[in-house]
Amino acid sequence: MAILVDKETRVLVQGITGQIGSFQTKIMKEAGTKVVAGVTPGKGGEEVHGVPVYDFIEEALEEHSFDAIINFVPARFAKDAAFEAIESEVPFLVITAEGFPAQDIMRVIAYAVNKGVHILGPDTPGVVSPGKCKLGVHPERMLVEGRVGVLSRSGALSYEACKALSEGGYGQSTVVGIGGGPLWGLREKEVLKMFDADPETKVIVLLGEVGGTMEQEAAEIISNEITTPVVALIVGKAAPRGAQMGHAGAIVEGKEGTAEYKVNLLREAGAYVAESPDGILKVIDQMEVI
């Protein structure tokens, strides 16, 4: 099993004829993803890597069924594309665009909640279940099918951690990139619950960073609801207060946004805490659960 996507997931790509959409469609198909259709207004009737292109999602739905949509549309058009995707009521939407205005993503998330659609992102590397399905840009060469669920706010950190896990003999059930923030669709606490309910996932790796309160929410869920062992790594221990560290969501304001505060909360909640990606391996070795 896996969470959010699996080998049967059928996918539509928005922005499929663009440079990024076309390239990533090819890579996703090579990874085993069932890309059944694409959409770019004005490009209907074309094909991209054997995938039929339509002007609108409504037209694609007349010819295909699909379970997920990934949006490779540039930020200035991403809001309209997201609304079109949500209107179709396809249950899962991945939004990759960076620079998505806060007021727009708030409206998109609210509309998605109303329609019962899960949103991953924006500014997300996506989600991948190795050997089954990839929606996004995670480098497949660093991933191996296995039993460790990986949840991260940082794409680059998840790549590094997955590389260490794979080289250490621990494959991944699913890897989920929440996105850079400061506003998100799916949050850590929701994905933690999904991993906890997945019988294939025996350990959850939580990769967090300074800024915001998402890890505080995660600690509460870990303490009260999660039974699967959680290994946490929080980066940014040297981050000065008030500074933005890479992501819009990684701004340290007050002690609650610091790495030290988050580490203490997660440890008190029952999570194991690692100091580095390689340290995650040592913690899992000691668990003897895989």
Q: Do the strands 133-136 and 172-177 form a parallel or antiparallel pair, or are they unpaired?
A: unpaired
Distance (Å, rounded) from C-alpha 149 to C-alpha 224? 19
129's tokens: 């279940």
Distance (Å, rounded) from C-alpha 231 to C-alpha 207? 8
Does residue 41 have a cis peptide bond before it, meaning omega lies within 30 degrees of 0? no
For the chain, how far is it from start to end, CA to CA, in angstroms?
A: 16
Query: What is the maximum span of the chain, computed from C-alpha positions, in angstroms?
Result: 57
Catalytic residues: 247
128's tokens: 């991948």
| Secondary structure string (H, E, C) spanning 24-64 | HHHHHHHCCCEEEEEECCCCCCCEECCEEEECCHHHHHHHC
* Three-state SS at 271: coil
Residue tagged 């200035």 (tokens) = 76
- In a 10 Å sphere around its CB, with 0-12 CB exposed, 13-18 middle and 19+ buried, how is residue 11 labelled? buried
DSSP state of 166: H
Residue pair 152/46 in contact by the 8 Å Cβ criterion: no
The number of residues making up the chain comes to 290
| Backbone phi, psi, residue 138, to 5° | -55, 135
